[in-house]
């Protein structure tokens, strides 16, 4: 645990307040960190992923003796110190060569971890193509039925979406959709086997199509990975429940007395007092107008025109 | 006419993509999920081209969906209004706890009293300018005569009473009582956080304090008046008698030897 800091000036007070739990959260910050032994592939992979994730990423340039599956204390420390809740730890060992561990935190505690091995890595700089500018929101596409069927794939999908989606936006500039992250699950013959997962990043070019929507062409931007599944650790049910709670303020308010039927008509229910049928306005007819009444009365008693008016 | 339009369109490549199973979208996260099975043979044949083609088709579909969203245009371009994200993604930190209201805040809420922001600048009628109420540039003329250079003595007041001192004392009392209230609010908030009724917590604390106070009499509370519903305290009123520091040397020697023996035995 870090010591609790008491802010001494307004600036640090504001900074600390920004770190407090919020109803609508800040975009998640990611830390890219090297384990005790790495190689060139892992290092470039980390820096490439970091540059995609910019500006919500921090690169740790030194090695750290981190073993996420054995001891999480240093991850917790870094998380609290940097107010970051995503980690990507790169290691390389004989047993697990070219290893990336994606870690998510909740309340500065490890929520879940997925370990992936890199095969067939191509860096961002190996592709001679236009790169997307910093801070653009990516599009995502997840290909393959496995992402709907298998628990590990589902978690990986959720993890990657969480990792790279940055802030939740209400609206998006149509010209700012610059790149797409494509994750494809290799089909497997045996339902318990794990296939590779292809992680590709492409820049998007919008061409004229003669319609409202543009014709899309892609150009590979990198990095490109073929991932293999290794170890993982998923969150317990109760922790996940706590982490996916929706604050009261954001929950949709129940709309009373308004329903929609199958046709799509809006039906409202109103509550009224008991109606007085004596005063009920029925269909208006010229013949029933009051002034005709008066005329008749006038005809009967001529001198009392004033009275009739007041009556 | 129709023929011409068709020609016009065919100049460009199509934006239409056919899929056996339509994609699922989470446009709040700008994501699409393609659940169509992937042909393993085609994947093996030319992996990168296949992936690129697959992604292009899906990118086209998701782009079509995004371009069909309601848009707003501004100086910076055309913005598509995104729906709420549908994928459940865990939060970074727990949902913020509700703030525990102080007694005044509770009262104000019930009464509908709202806090008014006091402006930082105040109109100075004498000079006709706006002056800061406090802080930088609120300069008060030092030579100016203070507002309370004269205080009217109230009608029924003692003429010898010092009105200045009275004011100062009143202010001191107000500060004191406010501090007390602040402390009470803090204690109550703490109790609520621990899920205890604040009244019960206060009661318990008072009881504990009274029990401590009882031990400070010569008889350790043995002859004190009992409170109503006072809990029984074990060994109340029993005093430990310590041996005197001077006197029986023999007994002391035995005692220390005994301790020594015990420790040696333990070591063995």
Give contacts of B37 with chain A, Cβ < 8 Å.
144-145, 187
CA distance B32 to A161: 11
How far B208 CA sits from the closest chain A CA (Å)? 30
Q: Give B123-164 pLDDT, tens digit per residue.
A: 888 778 888 888 887 766 667 777 788 899 998 888 889 999
Q: Which of residues 16-45 of B touch A (CB under 8 A)?
A: 28-40, 43
How far B142 CA sits from the closest chain A CA (Å)? 30
Dihedral, CA of residue B213, residue B216, residue B222 and residue B224, to nearest 10: -50
Closest residue by Cα to residue B211 from B229, B199, B191, B184: B229
**Contact call for residues A169 and A153 (beta carbons, < 8 A):** no
Please give the pLDDT value at position A65: 93
Please give the pLDDT value at position A301: 52
Please give the pLDDT value at position B210: 85
CA distance B58 to B63: 8
Nearest CA in chain B to A104: B92
B225 vs A297: which has the higher pLDDT: B225
Give contacts of B8 with chain A, Cβ < 8 Å.
210
CA distance A88 to A159: 11
B223-230 average pLDDT score: 80
Q: Give B14-72 pLDDT, tens digit per residue.
A: 888 888 899 999 999 999 999 999 988 888 888 899 999 999 999 999 999 999 999 99
Give contacts of B97 with chain A, Cβ < 8 Å.
21
Here the ipTM equals: 0.80
Distance from the Cα of residue A271 to its chain's centroid: 40
**Contact call for residues B106 and A32 (beta carbons, < 8 A):** no
How far B106 CA sits from the closest chain A CA (Å)? 20
Does the beta-carbon distance from B38 to A142 stay under 8 Å? no
Please give the pLDDT value at position A305: 47
Alpha helix (H) residue ranges in B40-142: 40-45, 47-67, 103-111
Please give the pLDDT value at position B1: 46
B210-221 average pLDDT score: 83
Does the beta-carbon distance from B94 to A170 stay under 8 Å? no
Tokens of B235: 């060994």
Query: Quick check: B63 contacting A, CB < 8 Å?
Result: yes
Query: Quick check: B12 contacting A, CB < 8 Å?
Result: yes
Does the beta-carbon distance from B12 to A215 stay under 8 Å? yes
Does the beta-carbon distance from B67 to A212 stay under 8 Å? yes
**Contact call for residues A123 and A221 (beta carbons, < 8 A):** no
Who among B47, B60, B72 is closest to A171 (CB)?
A: B72
Give contacts of B48 with chain A, Cβ < 8 Å.
220
Grade residue B261 by pLDDT with cuts at 50, 70 and 90.
very high
Please give the pLDDT value at position A308: 47
Ordered by where they begin, the domains of chain A are 27-234 (3.40.50.10480)
Does the beta-carbon distance from B33 to A148 stay under 8 Å? yes
Residues contacting A229, CB < 8 A, separation 6+:
A114, A115, A116, A117, A152, A156, A194, A197
Residues of chain A with pLDDT under 70: 1-2, 292-311
Does the beta-carbon distance from B52 to A215 stay under 8 Å? no
Please give the pLDDT value at position B5: 55
Closest residue by Cα to residue A233 from A101, A118, A141, A136: A101
What's the whole-number average pLDDT of chain B?
Answer: 87
Q: Identify how many contiguous H helices and E strands chain B contains and give both numbers.
A: 7, 6
Who among B8, B35, B85 is closest to A168 (CB)?
A: B85
How far B22 CA sits from the closest chain A CA (Å)? 12
What is the DSSP-derived secondary structure letter of residue A167? Answer: S
The residue ranges of every structural domain in chain B are: 2-80, 103-144, 162-223
Please give the pLDDT value at position A253: 85
Grade residue B259 by pLDDT with cuts at 50, 70 and 90.
very high
Does the beta-carbon distance from A85 to B52 stay under 8 Å? no
Residues contacting A251, CB < 8 A, separation 6+:
none
Closest residue by Cα to residue B40 from A57, A143, A75: A143
How far B74 CA sits from the closest chain A CA (Å)? 10
Q: Which of residues 95-114 of B touch A (CB under 8 A)?
A: 95-97
Query: Quick check: B9 contacting A, CB < 8 Å?
Result: yes
Who among A139, A141, A168 is closest to B28 (CB)?
A: A168
Query: Cα–Cα distances in Å, from A140 out to A157, A165, A178, B128?
Result: 10, 9, 12, 62
Does the beta-carbon distance from B77 to A141 stay under 8 Å? no
Please give the pLDDT value at position A294: 66
Nearest CA in chain B to A219: B52
Q: What angle do CA A160, A161, A167 make, to 5 degrees?
A: 125
Q: Give B59-96 pLDDT, tens digit per residue.
A: 999 999 999 999 999 888 899 999 999 999 999 999 99
Dihedral, CA of residue A107, residue A108, residue A110 and residue A114, to nearest 10: 100
Does the beta-carbon distance from B43 to A180 stay under 8 Å? no
Does the beta-carbon distance from A173 to B76 stay under 8 Å? yes
B229-238 average pLDDT score: 77
Look at the block and give the residue holding tokens 């604040």. Answer: B198
């Amino acid at each position: 645990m870090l010591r609790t800091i008491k802010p001494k000036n307004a600036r640090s007070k504001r900074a600390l307040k920004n770190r407090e739990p919020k109803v609508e959260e800040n975009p998640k910050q990611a830390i890219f960190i090297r384990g005790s032994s790495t190689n060139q592939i892992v290092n470039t992979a980390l820096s490439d992923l970091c540059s995609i994730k910019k500006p919500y990423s921090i690169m740790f340039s030194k090695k750290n003796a981190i073993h996420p599956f054995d001891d999480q204390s240093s991850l917790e420390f870094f998380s609290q110190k940097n107010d970051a809740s995503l980690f990507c730890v790169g290691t390389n060992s004989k047993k697990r060569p070219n290893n990336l561990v994606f870690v998510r935190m909740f309340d500065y505690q490890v929520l879940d971890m997925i370990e992936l091995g890199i095969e067939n890595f191509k860096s961002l700089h190996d592709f001679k193509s236009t790169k997307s500018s910093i801070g653009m929101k990516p599009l995502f596409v997840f290909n393959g039925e496995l992402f709907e069927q298998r628990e590990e794939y589902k978690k990986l999908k959720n993890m990657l979406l969480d990792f790279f989606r940055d802030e939740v936006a209400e609206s998006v500039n149509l010209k700012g959709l610059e790149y797409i992250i494509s994750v494809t699950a290799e089909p497997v013959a045996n339902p318990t086997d794990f296939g590779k997962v292809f992680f590709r990043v492409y820049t998007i070019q919008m061409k004229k199509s003669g319609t409202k929507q543009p014709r899309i062409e892609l150009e590979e931007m990198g990095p490109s990975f073929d991932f293999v599944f290794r170890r993982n650790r998923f969150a317990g049910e109760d922790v996940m429940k706590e982490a996916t709670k929706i604050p009261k303020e954001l929950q949709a308010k129940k709309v009373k007395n308004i329903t929609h039927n199958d046709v799509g008509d809006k039906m409202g229910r109103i509550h009224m007092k008991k109606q007085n049928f004596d005063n009920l306005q029925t269909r208006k007819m010229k013949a029933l107008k009051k002034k005709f009444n008066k005329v008749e009365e006038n005809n009967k008693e001529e001198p009392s025109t004033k009275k009739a008016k007041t009556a | 006419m129709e023929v011409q339009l068709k020609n016009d369109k065919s100049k460009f490549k199509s934006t239409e993509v056919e899929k056996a199973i339509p994609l699922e979208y989470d446009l709040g996260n700008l994501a699409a999920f393609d659940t169509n099975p992937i042909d393993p043979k085609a994947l093996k044949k030319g992996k990168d081209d296949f992936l690129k083609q697959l992604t292009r088709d899906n990118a086209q579909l998701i782009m079509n969906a995004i371009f069909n969203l309601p848009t707003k245009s501004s100086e910076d371009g055309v913005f598509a209004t995104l729906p709420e994200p549908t994928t459940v993604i865990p939060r970074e930190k727990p949902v913020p706890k509700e703030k525990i209201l102080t007694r005044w805040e509770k009262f104000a809420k019930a009464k509908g009293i709202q806090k008014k922001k006091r402006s930082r600048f105040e109109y100075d009628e004498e000079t006709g300018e706006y002056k800061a109420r406090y802080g930088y540039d609120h300069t008060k003329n030092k030579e100016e005569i203070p507002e309370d250079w004269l205080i009217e003595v109230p009608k029924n007041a003692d003429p010898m009473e010092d009105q200045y001192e009275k004011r100062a004392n009143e202010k001191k009392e107000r500060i004191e009582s406010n501090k007390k209230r602040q402390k009470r609010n803090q204690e109550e908030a703490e109790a609520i956080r621990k899920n205890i009724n604040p009244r019960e917590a206060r009661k318990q604390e008072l009881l504990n304090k009274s029990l401590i106070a009882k031990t400070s009499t010569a008889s350790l509370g043995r002859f004190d008046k009992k409170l109503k519903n006072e809990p029984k305290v074990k060994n109340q009123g029993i005093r430990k008698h310590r041996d005197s520091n001077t006197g029986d040397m023999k007994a002391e020697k035995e005692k220390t030897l005994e301790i020594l023996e015990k420790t040696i035995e333990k070591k063995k």
